[in-house]
Structure 1
């Protein structure tokens, strides 16, 4: 189960508008999934890996 709990509201930040979720009783390892999605986006947009 996930909940949208907040978002980045400081307009000067690079992450402005980013949604913050909290997960309860997650069935997957969310860190690995997010990492995979970031890497996929980087490949699609030819962004440098860090």
Structure 2
């Protein structure tokens, strides 16, 4: 389960890097999502 989450995060990061959309709102949303994912992962681990 944890490995799957990590793989998903990696895929998301790759996609974001490939797109490189210069939109502050979108980046803010993505950053918040990443923070949530990291917090949940830390709680689980």
Q: TM-score, normalised by structure 1?
A: 0.39
- The structure number with the bigger radius of gyration is 1
Higher helix share: 2
Structure scoring higher RCO (CA < 8 A, sep ≥ 6) equals: 2
